[in-house]
Homo-oligomer: A and B are copies of this chain.
Amino acid sequence: MSDIKLKVEENATLTEDALKSFFDAHRDTTLYKAMKYSTMCGGKRIRPFLVLEFCKLLGGGEDAAMPYACALEMIHTFSLIHDDLPCMDNDDMRRGKPTNHKVFGEAPALLAGDALIFSAFECAMSNTNVTAESKLKAVETLALASGAEGMCEGQMIDIASEGKKLEFDELLNLHAHKTGALIRVAAKLGVIAAGGDNAALKAADTYGAGVGLAFQIIDDILDKYGSTEELGKPVGSDAKNEKTTFLSFMSVKDAMEYAKKVTDEACAAISGYENSETLIDLANMLLNRKS
């Protein structure tokens, strides 16, 4: 296993330990069970990794970053639970397991998603290794990235786009909100945890935007040309759902070049910082992934 893959895996374990600690410190009600089920359902934990690595890049410690990393992962999880609901994508399975509403029922899944948002803010507030200023900035940044200015708006655009052919600008706008916002905020939360300045915040934002966009381009390529075996999920869903993708506008070769270009731009934004190798390796790992 490559160095960066190992680091990502190690960080996923750390994040899961911290998430588990959060739930262990609360009651064991059905609602918490439902929240925990989806939060602990695996995944690469790329967003928490970004929070921790950007905090390290700016000289901050893991303790300062982890509560923000967990908060963000809870918001990511809420979005997956609500996205899977019958009125949204109506998905029965996620990461090889039954979706939240398939296990707990639709109303409990709705409430588990809702409650995870509040737990995210509670978790961010529990950060004892940062300044009050950092926490206020974290809450504000998380709220803006997740709600009607960010991810929720992205999901709304996605719904409105169903069955429509999007222009290229519209496709970029969709992804910038739907998936880009949370990846950008991950990088920024790391800077906020470390008490970094505005220049660092801007660099993190540029890195997050580039990596997020490349991620989506690769997603589109893998959905068309990947293997179900490697991906662990059916391919061809974009074509089946008549979705506009990057491959609606360019060949797979051009799409790969485009993804490489935005990845390079992402890396350039942080290459001036010492010890930026890990984040550069991560960007390239995500660019070259097969699943």
Contacts and interface: CB of A to CB of B under 8 A. Distances in A.
Contacts of A285: none
A119 B107 contact: no
Contacts of A108: 156, 159
For the complex formed by this chain, how many copies does it contain in all? 2
Interface stretch (A131-139, A204-212, A255-263): A131-139
Contacts of A65: none
Instruction: Name the residue among A30, A86, A121, A132 with the largest chain B CB count within 10 angstroms.
Output: A121
A31 interface: yes
Given A139-B139, A148-B119, A160 B30 contact: yes
A14 interface: no
A189 B88 CA distance: 35
A85 B110 contact: yes
10 contacts: A29-B148, A78-B114, A82-B114, A86-B87, A115-B153, A117-B117, A121-B142, A122-B144, A132-B132, A139-B139
A182 to B, nearest CB: 12
Given A31-B153, A139-B125, A153-B31, A148 B115 contact: yes
Contact of A31 (B87, B121, B152): B152
A35 B118 contact: no
A111 interface: yes
Given A26-B149, A114-B147, A114-B152, 17 more contacts: A31-B148, A31-B153, A31-B156, A32-B148, A82-B111, A82-B114, A86-B87, A110-B110, A111-B159, A115-B148, A115-B152, A117-B147, A118-B142, A118-B147, A121-B140, A121-B142, A122-B143
A121 B108 CA distance: 23
A88 B117 contact: no
Contacts of A149: 26
